[in-house]
């Protein structure tokens, strides 16, 4: 009689099927109203984070507000060229969803409205509750909540303290967020990583000292496109 073979533990199926990233300040360094592909610089850890997700069978997409179009500061062609550059450096992504409207246009796509999330989820063939949105400001998290998706905040120097306090899940960097996604929910509020969470408020995505918030917001004329 053959001895019973040990039964290998079955790893639970990850309920997360797709991750949608904010673009500026999350995947790439935030250049206000950028229409120049040559100025696109991935944030620290972006390449590895996206690679890990794809290797884990997780779909990836980008959801981005680009109100510079409505303001006449950049054109739809400018946005497309910058997006193509992001795809060259980090992609290709499975879905792109872009809102070109301004804050007062009353659209349903501009974050914190859920339209971009819902459209991208449909594009990926994924129900919203199987989607994680990773972004750097409260509008990203609110859009995820309204869409019925999960949200992970990765704070940057422009993230307000109240936005961090209100977020359900907070990661110190993009790579930590990606690793948490691969483990699947439920997650704790503060996701552990090699980089202290407090460091996200004092350095840029590239690790250089952050500029003064007041000066950055003055340059942007608004906190976010």
Q: List the domain boundaries for the chain.
A: 18-220
What pLDDT sits at residue 35? Answer: 98
Query: Any idea what the Cα angle at residue 58 is, between residues 56 and 64, rounded to 5°?
Result: 140
CA angle 111, 114, 118 (to 5 degrees): 125
Sheet of 95-99, strands arranged across: 95-99, 59-65, 18-21, 131-135, 150-153
- What's the gap between Cα 22 and its chain centre? 3
Question: In degrees rounded to 5, what are phi and psi of residue 190?
Answer: -100, 110
Whether this model's pTM surpasses 0.75: yes
Name the superfamily (CATH) of residues 18-220: HAD superfamily/HAD-like (3.40.50.1000)
Catalytic residues: 22, 24
pLDDT in tens, the chain (225 residues): 455 565 555 455 779 999 999 999 999 999 999 999 999 999 999 999 999 999 999 999 999 999 999 999 999 999 999 999 999 999 899 999 999 999 999 999 999 999 999 999 999 999 999 999 999 999 999 999 999 999 999 999 999 999 999 999 999 999 999 999 998 875 778 887 655 555 544 444 333 333 333 333 444 444 456
- Residue 202's pLDDT is 43
Q: In the prediction, which pLDDT does 191 show?
A: 84
Spatial distance between the Cα atoms of 143 and 17, rounded to a whole number of angstroms:
18
């Amino acid at each position: 009689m053959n001895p019973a073979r040990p039964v290998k533990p079955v790893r639970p199926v990850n309920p997360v099927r797709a991750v949608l990233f904010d673009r500026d300040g999350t995947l790439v360094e935030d250049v206000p109203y950028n229409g120049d592909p040559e100025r696109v610089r991935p944030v620290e850890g972006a390449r590895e984070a996206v690679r890990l997700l794809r290797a884990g069978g997780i779909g990836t997409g980008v959801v981005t507000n680009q109100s510079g179009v409505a303001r006449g500061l950049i054109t739809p062609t400018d946005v497309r060229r910058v997006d193509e550059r992001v795809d060259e450096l980090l992609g290709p992504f499975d879905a792109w969803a872009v809102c070109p409207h301004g804050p007062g246009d009353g659209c349903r796509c501009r974050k914190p409205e859920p339209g971009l999330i819902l459209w991208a989820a449909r594009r990926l063939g994924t129900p919203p509750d199987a989607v994680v949105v990773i972004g750097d400001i409260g509008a990203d998290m609110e859009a995820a909540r309204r869409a019925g998706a999960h949200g992970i905040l990765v704070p940057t120097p422009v993230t307000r303290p109240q936005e961090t306090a209100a977020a359900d899940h907070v990661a110190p960097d993009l790579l930590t967020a990606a690793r948490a996604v691969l483990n699947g929910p439920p997650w704790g509020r503060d996701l552990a990583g090699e980089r202290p969470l407090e460091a996200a408020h004092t350095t840029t995505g590239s690790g250089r000292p952050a500029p003064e918030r007041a000066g950055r917001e003055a340059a942007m004329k608004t906190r976010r496109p």
